[in-house]
Structure 1
Amino acid sequence: MAGTATYRLEFSPQWVVDAGIDELTARFIADAQSGIAGSGIRAGILGEQPTSEDAITDHDEKGLRASARAAIATGLALATHTTHGTMALEQIEILADEGVDLSRVVIGHMDNHTDLDYVRRVLDRGVCIGFDSIGKQVWDARQPRQLPTANGEFSKRALFRSDNIRAQWLAALISEGYQDQIVLSHDLIGAQVPLNPETHGQRGYTYLGTTFTQILLDHGVSTTDLDSLLHNNPARLLTVN
């Protein structure tokens, strides 16, 4: 399933920086209805549309509003990117202001937030959330690539998130009745494989459906609830309204 979105300002091509909301909206709608870049391959979801860490820039808001308007026009669900789980509630306010059906919104990367009560507050707005970095226990904070001005060490920020904690959180949320609002995924790129030799390095894209599902079962998650997370919820979201 292909998606269509822009990304944060520091990673965006100039045409995206220069585009207004209407132009981006038209581009997203065309990607969904005609095909991406003339390929004939149509986007089946809007996203993942991002915001920055601990901030929503004007560029971020422009993209969110364009995606929201395209979602309404096309009937597609809308998925977001939160940077390390931040600004989720603020994303929801913008999308609600645009009139999007919040049950058709997936707020992404909420398994990377550090406060389970915050995740509950997001769920209580009626959106779905992505526990979508399964297996990515260690990763570098992504920054635009720039060569240093002199020889020396790069300054890199790295993060850690335990899959065991992810499983504990999921088991708790499911026990509280949120199982129909959660979807699971990997958010996996090749550069993260050597950083996670015990997860992605062992199983790649199969890690979620093999190792991690067993971890969830060990935490008391039922097979019925796994069906919701892995089949029913994504099938509902990927159905065009």
Structure 2
Amino acid sequence: MNSPAPVLRTVLGDIAPDAVRGPALAHEHLVLDLDHRGDGGAVLAAGRHTAAVTAELAALREEYGLALVVELTCRGMGRDVRTLARISRDAQVAVVAATGWYYEPFHTPEIDRGSVADLAATLVREIEDGIGTTGIRPGVLGEIGSHGDIPAPPESKVLRASARAALATGLSVATHAQLGRGGLAQLELLTAEGLPPHRISLGHQDLLDDPAVHRELAASGAYVAFDTVGKDSYQSDDTRLRLLLALLEAGHADRALLSCDISRHGYLTSEGGQGYGHLFGSFLPEVRAAGVDDDLIDLLTRRNPLRFLSGANVEES
């Protein structure tokens, strides 16, 4: 009996992975609210910022062929999939929505009340039935969060539940490792539940200046996300470039994912920020200047994220 063909689940419906011919942003936010202190900075508000976000994505489609955004805003992060669908339709860029829970400061009450099995069942219901009453189904579990070298007990519960939901539904898991720490512990928890490493992306590894850890994660078969490109207040792009080149030179180009993790409205180009296009306009030219050719760029920005999300081995562009 033949296995079903891999599909990519977007907010506007399923598409074939090989229909995505341009690059992807593997970890972004288009609508979110992480503002716990009242300053309003960690917000991309539906309505107030939607037009600017849409305009940026449309411009990147025109200039660089941007074809896909993996939007990792999940439960407790101000997720709004109706607005994601509107942005996707208006910008003509495919968007993958997420489900799961972020790290502990943003946990919702059901995490304390529920068992691992309860939480996994909640995620499976969203994946199979859609988010709320929208009918829009998530295409990835993420960004599943922890902080520190070892996840806190509630974070461990969420990671285990996410692995079980991934196994039940065929989706992959993208994590938030605060400041790049704890990726190995996340990987251990997820794989202990039976989730294969190739269905796991360990987030924010470009904030951890430890090439040995990156090699260990990649050697396991997991994806290593260099997904805060342009966030110079956390790490310089010079350091990111050095870390990425080290991973490529170690033979792990097929395990790297790239993105910018735009998570504040001040990062939008309309407000003077680096924008979603910093990866294409600033960082990738530096990668090319270091000797990386166009085929490898396509691997990093298109084939890797498509394989992570769907399991499909897409052809070279």
- TM-score normalised by the shorter chain: which range applies? 0.7 to 0.9
1:106-159, Cα deviation, whole Å (9 max, x unpaired): 011100102222221222222111100011111xxxxxxxxxxxxxxxxxxxxx
Query: Residue 75 of structure 1 contacts residue 240 of structure 1 at CA under 8 Å; is this kept in 2?
Result: no
Alignment-mate amino acid for residue 119 of structure 1: H
Q: Which residue of 2 aligns with 1:122?
A: 217
**Counterpart-to-counterpart distance in 2, 1:47 and 1:57:** 17
**TM-score normalized by structure 2?**
0.64
User: Which structure ranks higher in relative contact order (CA pairs < 8 Å, sequence separation ≥ 6)?
Assistant: 2
Provide the TM-score with structure 1 as the length reference: 0.84
1:141 alignment partner in structure 2: none
Instruction: Report deviation, 1:192.
Output: 5.2
Q: Which residue of 2 aligns with 1:79?
A: 174
Of the three residues 108, 132, 136, the one matched with 1:13 is 108
Gaps of 5+ in 1: 139-159
Aligned to 1:36: 131
Q: 2:143 corresponds to which residue?
A: 48
Which residue matches 1:142? none
**Would the aligned equivalents of 1:51 and 1:82 in 2 still touch at CA under 8 Å?**
yes
**What is the deviation of 1:203?**
4.2
Q: Which moved more, 1:114-123 or 1:42-51?
A: 114-123
1:58 aligns with 2:153: yes
Residue of 195, 200, 213 corresponding to 1:105: 200
CA distance in 1, matches of 2:250, 2:210: 16
Q: Deviations over 1:16-72 (max 9, x none)?
A: 332221121111112211111221111100111111123311101100000000100
Between the two proteins, the alignment pairs up a number of residues equal to 216
Q: Matches of 1:89 and 1:76 in 2, distance apart?
A: 21
- Match runs of 1:62-211 below 5 Å: 62-138=157-233, 160-191=234-265, 193=267, 201-211=272-282
State the Cα deviation string for residues 67-109 of structure 1 (Å, max 9, x = none). Answer: 0001001111111110111111111111111010111110111
Cα offset, 1:10, TM superposition = 2.3
- Which deviates more from structure 2 when the two are superposed, residues 2-11 or residues 69-78? 2-11
Larger mean CA deviation between 182-191 and 201-210 belongs to 201-210
Runs of 4+ in 1 over 4 A off after TM superposition: none
Using the alignment, how far apart are the partners of 2:246 and 2:154 within structure 1?
Answer: 36
Distance 2:104 2:264 in 1: 23
Distance 1:10 1:81 in 2: 13
Q: CA contact under 8 A between 1:110 and 1:129: conserved in structure 2?
A: yes
Q: 1:203–1:8: structure 2 CA closer, same or farther, 3 Å change rule?
A: closer
C-alpha distance after superposition, 1:162-207 (max 9, x if no partner): 111111221221122111001111111125528xx9xx94541111
Q: Whole-Å Cα distance in 2 between the matches of residues 165 and 104 of structure 1?
A: 27
**Corresponding position of 2:296:** 225
Inter-partner Cα distance in structure 1 for 2:242 and 2:304: 20
The residue that corresponds to 1:4 in the other structure is 99
**Aligned-partner residue type, residue 104 of structure 1:** R
**Separation in structure 2 between the aligned mates of residue 166 and residue 218 of structure 1, nearest angstrom:** 14
Q: Paired residue for 1:23?
A: 118
- What is the identity, as a one-letter code, of the residue corresponding to 2:252? Y
Distance 1:117 1:192, change over 3 A: farther
